[in-house]
């Protein structure tokens, strides 16, 4: 909507309410000046693409800025580097009738990616559910959004309450993340808990990791029994770890898991110092 102030003519923003601020953009009085010789493009604040494109994901249409997609993904950058195809004079992505199809992508994945771009960049605030972070990890891995992928990994491994151990192990294995930081802590949780590993958990992990966790659970219980026996004459066979403190159990589990699932020592053996014992317990690496 045009408004006049004195001798200047400007454009006023569409206000959502009477209390919203009015932004005044003066219009040039004469013709647009020619490009000054030697002028260079700003390295940050010169956007190659300020247009919007229409995408179809499943049965839903989205009209969003291409800039974030091009900047974050080599695949999208290559896609938009070429002149988009046209049908009946309509460029691909220009209208609802000719959207850009993202096959193999779900709505929650694309919406999580858009939330990452818009909420993070515009409002510096991004809060998502575990399902949304998993969706962001999936789509960022597929299309090569490295920064989004790193953010999703950081969030998924710091969630409270934690993501299920088997789910964290599956992510660590698929992305080949450092075992000591990502896989071993989750494996230790499976080793220490009283409930055995469930079938749905087994299906998420590699056969090697499942076998290692099973072996580690056996060694953990043996080590815990050896540590608890001197302090408990009548050992509770149904719960042999009951006599030990949580700190002691965690220490035993850490040594057990590390010895079996991490890189083995030079001699293939690892020693774990047990509570109330002057001699360490030796664990044989598989």
Q: What is the pLDDT of residues 186-234, one digit of tens each?
A: 999 998 888 889 999 999 999 989 988 988 888 888 877 776 665 544 4
Peptide bond preceding 161 in cis form (omega within 30 of 0):
yes
Distance (Å, whole) CA 171 – CA 149: 12
Distance (Å, whole) CA 116 – CA 110: 10
Any bridge partners for residue 92, and if so which?
Answer: none
Output the pLDDT for position 79: 85
Q: What angle do CA 72, 73, 74 make, to 5 degrees?
A: 130
Residue from 212, 210, 231 nearest 220 by CA:
212
Cβ-contact 270, 264 below 8 angstroms: yes
Residue from 283, 118, 113 nearest 212 by CA:
283
Handedness of CA 252, 253, 258, 264 (dihedral sign): positive
Place of tokens 């469930």: 198
Q: List pLDDT tens digits, range 6-27.
A: 444 444 444 444 444 444 445 5
| Ranges of H-type helices in 176-245 | 184-192, 199-202, 207-228
The number of C-alpha atoms within 13 Å of 48 and in the hemisphere containing its C-beta is 10
Full-model pTM: 0.68
Residues in the chain: 286
pLDDT at 261 > cutoff 80: no
Beta strands in 48-152 (DSSP E): 52-57, 60-65, 86-87, 90-91, 100-101
Output the pLDDT for position 225: 73
| Coil, helix or strand at residue 11 | strand
The contacts of residue 215 (CB under 8 Å, 6+ apart) are: 260, 286
Q: List pLDDT tens digits, range 57-80.
A: 998 999 898 888 988 999 998 888
pLDDT at 184 > cutoff 60: yes
């Amino acid at each position: 909507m045009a408004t006049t102030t004195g001798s200047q003519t400007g454009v006023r923003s569409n206000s959502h309410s009477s209390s919203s601020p009015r932004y005044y953009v003066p219009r040039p009085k004469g013709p647009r000046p020619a490009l000054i010789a030697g002028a260079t493009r700003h390295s940050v604040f010169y956007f190659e693409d300020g247009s919007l494109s229409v995408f179809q994901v499943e049965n839903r249409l989205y009209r969003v800025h291409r800039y974030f997609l091009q900047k974050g993904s080599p695949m999208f950058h290559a896609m938009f580097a070429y002149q988009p195809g046209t049908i009946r004079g309509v460029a691909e992505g220009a209208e609802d009738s000719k959207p850009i199809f993202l096959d193999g992508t779900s709505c929650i994945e694309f919406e999580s990616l858009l939330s990452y771009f818009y909420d993070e960049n515009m409002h510096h605030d991004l809060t998502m559910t575990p399902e949304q972070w998993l969706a962001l990890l999936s789509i960022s891995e597929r299309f090569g959004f490295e920064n989004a992928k790193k953010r999703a990994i950081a969030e998924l491994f710091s969630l409270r309450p934690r993501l299920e151990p088997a789910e964290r192990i599956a992510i660590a294995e698929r992305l080949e993340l450092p075992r000591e930081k990502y896989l071993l802590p989750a494996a230790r949780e499976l080793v220490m808990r009283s409930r055995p590993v469930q079938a749905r958990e087994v299906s998420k992990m590699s056969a090697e990791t499942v076998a290692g966790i099973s072996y580690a659970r056996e060694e953990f219980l043996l080590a815990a029994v050896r540590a608890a026996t001197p302090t408990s004459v009548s050992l509770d066979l149904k719960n042999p770890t009951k006599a030990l403190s949580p700190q002691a159990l965690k220490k035993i589990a850490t040594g057990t898991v590390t010895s079996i699932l991490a890189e083995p020592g030079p001699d293939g053996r690892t020693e774990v110092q047990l509570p109330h014992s002057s001699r360490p317990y030796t664990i044989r690496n598989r």
